[in-house]
Amino acid sequence: MARAGLIAVAGFALTLGACRSAPSCPTQVRTDPGRALSDHESQRASWRSLKAEARVTQWADRGRIRGNVLMFLEQPNRVRFDVMTQFGPAAVLTSDGQSFQLSDLREKTFLQGPTCPQNIARLLGVSIGAEEIIGILTGNTPTLDAIAESMECRDGLYVVTLVAADRSTQEVAFSVREADRQKPPEEQILQLRRSTERGPDGVRRWEASYDDYVDVDGQSFPTQIRFVDAVNGAETTVRVKSITLDPDIPDGTFHQTPAPGMSIELASCS
């Protein structure tokens, strides 16, 4: 009898697991992919600058690198990243949207040149421009120049598919806050969850994922971001600890000059 009871309980548990449904779609479903992308952009575009502190882990051909990073971001394309240790800053990257500087305080080298994806990747391991890195760190994504687009609701997520002229594709997935699931489509607040770009051969180029959103002064930001650069074999995880919107940013924050004794090198974009 005891054995029969255990079998019955196990069967009941399996039945519950089989009946567990995927997250549901909103009652009124969005169907316009272009409107979804533009609505998401407009919902997050009301801040000018931010200061954040994060724990960053990067896996690349040089192994694993971990550290705390202090960030200043100013739209559309001004950035500063200070990599901190218990003894002070180890490296500082700045860009005012046009000029790029990177101080490696351990190697006592100073790199300078134009702002481009190749130079941003020297510190961050992510080969994209300054404007795009601001978007990724705050819950947005670069998108393909599409000639075709479609949209569906799948497993509780809106999935927008973009197709470029060369047949490259991108999938952009949004969630809807629980409080918005009964609202009309135009009132649903979208939160970016995943963005994946693939080449014409279907091979993944890069993927970004976003989790653990928090509200800061009426704005929503992810606090866990993971970016996989499949082309360069790098993966970066960012765990945001604090965010301050529109802080006072000192003059000169987005530009550096070499410290005395540093060797100066040109950072090319080739």
Structure confidence by residue, pLDDT tens digits, 219-247: 999 999 999 988 888 899 999 999 999 99
DSSP state of 258: P
> Which residue has better confidence, 20 or 38?
38
Instruction: Report the range of poorest mean pLDDT among 13-17, 149-153, 255-259.
Output: 13-17
Residue 179 phi/psi, 5-degree rounding, is -70, -15
Burial of 181 (0-12, 13-18, 19+ CB in 10 A): middle
Residues 6 or more apart in contact with residue 129 via CB below 8 angstroms: 77, 115, 116, 117, 120
Amino acid at 241: K
Of 46, 31, 43, the C-alpha closest to 189 is: 43
> Could you tell me the pTM of the whole model?
0.84
Residue 93 CB neighbour total at 10 angstroms: 24
Name the average pLDDT for the chain: 88
Distances (CA, A) of 12 to 15, 16, 23, 111: 5, 6, 22, 64
Residues 6 or more apart in contact with residue 66 via CB below 8 angstroms: 55, 56, 57, 58
Write down the H helix ranges in the chain: 2-19, 33-43, 117-124, 130-137
DSSP state of 15: H
pLDDT tens digit string along 119-133? 888 887 777 888 999
Domains in the chain: ranges and CATH: 25-251 (2.50.20.10)
Place of tokens 């169907």: 31
Per-residue pLDDT at 9 exceeds 70: no
Mean pLDDT of the region 95-101: 94
